[in-house]
Structures are given as structure tokens and as C-alpha cells.
Amino acid sequence: MSHSAVSQAATAVSVSVGNERSLRRSVFKHNNSISFNTKSSWSSSLALNQKTTTTIRDARRYTSTTTLCMSVQQASSSKVSVSPIELEDPSDPPLNLYKPKDSYTAKIVSVERVVGPKAPGETCHIVIDHDGNLPYWEGQSYGVIPPGENPKKPGAPHNVRLYSIASTRYGDFFDGKTASLCVRRAVYYDPETGKEDPSKNGVCSNFLCDSKPGDNIQITGPSGKVMLLPENDPNATHIMIATGTGVAPYRGYLRRLFMEDVPNYGFKGLAWLFLGVANTDSLLYDDEFSKYLKDHPDNFRFDKALSREEKNKKGGKMYVQDKIEEYSDEIFKLLDNGAHIYFCGLKGMMPGIQDTLKRVAEERGESWDAKLSQLRKNKQWHVEVY
């Protein structure tokens, strides 16, 4: 779909979002005692008037996710109302509500390629309908069990694969019933022939990227507490560093901070995103992030490292650690003042980043080991790599 077509479709969608939100809010009953400790407690507390909402939900599930997201960006700079507000009540995050031997059967809503034609590889944005039965917090992960038999354990299912959730607890439809994943298709090419070997391709990533709306998907979780977004200080600074699909949790953070009208939470601090990808066509959620930059210039910064299009100061490829080094003095000062720093992406990103931070620390006359120890002690250091 062209940008002009999306823009035209977006206008119509944006109108229905606002009207529907007020209707949805009216059918939820507020319950201050809601808990995520058991499946039954929250599933009963978030019960819907099904007759009123089923038609609306089904209609929205199969509307283009891209169009809906674009409508939010283009309609206005005002925030989007979210419901059910009960999702704000629990003091602790939901953890392992469904385990591998007792997984939850969700449904695929949409699978959309979110990179351009010149991007190396394919990355998809996948929306999953959990119908409110698998709540999560921003920064957590879902486990996915792909269909089929584990080749290493005949007769047993595949092992669980973890994916960072790329949406807020309200999901892409702002109603607490979906979750989104950002998945890069893992493809193996034989180094000798240069041809793809499907037998060695990533089982789960290919299952997800090949899924169709309505397909069943087995989910476990949610899991993870390391990457949770601290919200006790609305004036906090959050420095987010990602490579590729590692941007997933930050997409959730930023929608919560800048897109959603979250009750009793108004962010007034600084969110600073560093994203490293191969080229412009590989940028993920760039329209959303650019919109935040336009609407919230005092609260959001966005720096990109395009390794195949840009050079660092030494004339080599521009990686995310090179971009961090450009702003190292400012980053260190922010960390000294209590900023949170997050890292998400491939394990291979961390050595280069750690080396850069260590070199910068030494240039400042500091011990990086001591500084890192203090950041961890203060719970300012958040790392999730795979």
C-alpha cells in the first residue's frame, strides 16, 4: 500500500478508534483488587460483555495493523485512550501464567513485513490475539512453541523460543487483548554453494513469519523482570540501545510514554533511543519514532547507526557503539545522575559496546568495572541479549 493510500485509510480508522474506545471503557467494571497471581483471578476480573464487544473486536483484529498504527500517527498529536484501566492496578508484573506443558492457544491476527526491499533479510511485525488471557508488562517476553516434533527428542514438542514483546500491555489495538512480536526470519545459506538450506532455517521464526490470520499459536509466559520500565519517577531518563529486532521492547516503552493516555502517568523525562541496523530499509518502526521526535522534541531523542550507509570517525562502518561514543560524555553524565540504560539485541553487540564504554571511562579517569558495579547495584543497568 502506498503512503498516500495508507494516509487516506488512516483517516477513516482513526475516527472509529476514538468512538469505540468510549464504548469499550463503559463495559469494563473497575476492580481495585485485581491480581495477576492466578489465571482465574484476572480472567474473571477482566470479563467482558461479550455480546457488546465481540463484533467490534473481530472487525478490528483483521484491520491492517500498519494502517491502524499510521492512523494514530497522522490523525493528531493527542494521545490515545486505553482500556481496561484495570491493567494499571497490579503492583507486580504477571509471570509465567502459562508454562510449556500448559501453554495458551492464541491466534494470529496479522503478519506484516516491516522492512524495505533493500534490507538484508526479512523482519515481520506479528500481532497475536490472546483475548485478555495472557497479560504482560512492557519489557517482558512471550515464549512461542512452534508446531511439530523436536528432532532431538522424538515424540516431544519443540523447545520454547523467547521473543521480546513489541507492544504495551494494551496491545496495538489499545484494548488489552493483543500482543505484538518483532521477528526476523532466520535463514541459513550454505557457505559453499551460497544456496538456502531450508533444513537449517530457524524453526520458530519461519513459522511465525509464514503464519496467516486465524492460525493458532502456542504461547508461554510472560517472563522477565530485567527489562521492565521503571515508572516510579516520571522525570527519569531512559537510554535505550538496540540492534535490529532488539528494538522490540523499546517500541512498547515509547508507545506507553508518548502514544497512550495512560491513567495517572504523565512522562516528563527523557527517552533516548539508539538503533543500529544495516541500512535505511532496515529501520524498524521508523514512522512511529519519527512522530514522537516531532511531537515531543524535549522528551525524546533518536539516533540511528546505519552500518552499510554511514562511516564512523575512523572511516569504518558505523555501528551502534560508535554512535554511543559520539555522545559518551553526555551519556556518562546522565548515568551519574541516575539514568537507566537498556541493551537489547544480539549477544554480539555487547562486547563492542562494553569496550567503548570502558575506553570512555578510562579517558575520564574512571574505573569502568567500578562504575558498572555501581550501575548494577542501583538497578540502572538492564541487559537482554540473545
Confidence of residue 152 (pLDDT cuts 50, 70, 90): confident
Checking if the pLDDT of 346 tops 70, the result is yes
Say if residue 254 carries a ligand binding annotation.
no
Say if residue 53 carries a ligand binding annotation.
no
Q: Is there a catalytic annotation at residue 386?
A: yes
The answer as to whether 60 is a domain residue is no
The answer as to whether 33 is a domain residue is no
Checking if the pLDDT of 26 tops 60, the result is no
Question: CATH number of the domain that 254 lies in?
Answer: 3.40.50.80
Q: Which domain holds residue 296?
A: 229-385
pLDDT, tens digit, for every residue of 292-316?
Answer: 999 999 999 999 999 999 999 999 9
Please identify which of the residues 163, 253, 285, 292 carries the catalytic annotation. Answer: 163
Say if residue 164 carries a ligand binding annotation.
yes
Residue-level pLDDT at 151? 84
Mean pLDDT of 361-375: 94
Mean pLDDT of 233-258: 97
My answer on whether 256 and 287 are in the same domain is yes
Among the candidates 223, 258, 282, a domain finishes at 223
The answer as to whether 77 is a domain residue is no
Confidence of residue 349 (pLDDT cuts 50, 70, 90): confident
My answer on whether 293 and 353 are in the same domain is yes
The total number of structural domains in the chain stands at 2
Please identify which of the residues 20, 288, 325, 384 carries the catalytic annotation. Answer: 384
Helices (H), the chain: 3-26, 39-45, 50-61, 65-75, 203-210, 248-254, 286-295, 320-326, 328-336, 349-363, 368-377
Say if residue 196 carries a ligand binding annotation.
no
Among the candidates 207, 223, 239, a domain finishes at 223
Say if residue 245 carries a ligand binding annotation.
yes
Give 76-110 as a 3 state SS string: CCCCEECCCHHHHCCCCCCCCCECHHHCEEEEEEE
My answer on whether 316 and 354 are in the same domain is yes
Say if residue 22 carries a ligand binding annotation.
no
Say if residue 288 carries a ligand binding annotation.
no
Mean pLDDT of 277-283: 96
My answer on whether 241 and 168 are in the same domain is no
My answer on whether 201 and 244 are in the same domain is no
The answer as to whether 17 is a domain residue is no
Q: Is there a catalytic annotation at residue 163?
A: yes
Length of the chain: 386
Among the candidates 199, 223, 247, a domain finishes at 223
Mean pLDDT of the chain: 83
Q: Is 208 exposed, middle or buried (0-12, 13-18, 19+ CB in 10 A)?
A: buried
My answer on whether 279 and 198 are in the same domain is no
My answer on whether 219 and 233 are in the same domain is no
Q: Distances in Å between the alpha carbon of 28 and those of 25, 49, 50, 86, 183?
A: 6, 8, 11, 9, 33
Residue-level pLDDT at 99? 96
Please identify which of the residues 45, 103, 164, 205 carries the catalytic annotation. Answer: 164
Residue-level pLDDT at 59? 43
pLDDT, tens digit, for every residue of 124-137?
Answer: 999 999 999 999 99
Return the number of other C-beta atoms located less than 10 Å from residue 303's C-beta. Answer: 15
My answer on whether 191 and 261 are in the same domain is no
DSSP annotation of 66 reads H
My answer on whether 298 and 168 are in the same domain is no
My answer on whether 134 and 189 are in the same domain is yes
The answer as to whether 11 is a domain residue is no
My answer on whether 165 and 301 are in the same domain is no
The answer as to whether 311 is a domain residue is yes
My answer on whether 92 and 238 are in the same domain is no
The answer as to whether 184 is a domain residue is yes
Residue-level pLDDT at 77? 56
Question: CATH number of the domain that 182 lies in?
Answer: 2.40.30.10
Segment among 50-54, 122-126, 164-168, 236-240 with least mean pLDDT = 50-54
Residue-level pLDDT at 97? 97
What gap in Å lies between CA 249 and CA 181, rounded to an integer? Answer: 9
Q: Is there a catalytic annotation at residue 327?
A: no
pTM over 0.85: no
Return the number of other C-beta atoms located less than 10 Å from residue 328's C-beta. Answer: 17
Greater pLDDT, 385 or 32: 385
With beta carbons less than 8 A apart as the criterion, state whether 144 and 217 touch. Answer: yes
Checking if the pLDDT of 196 tops 80, the result is no
The answer as to whether 288 is a domain residue is yes
Residue-level pLDDT at 320? 94
Mean pLDDT of 206-213: 95
Break the chain down into helix, strand, coil percent, rounded to 5: 35, 20, 40
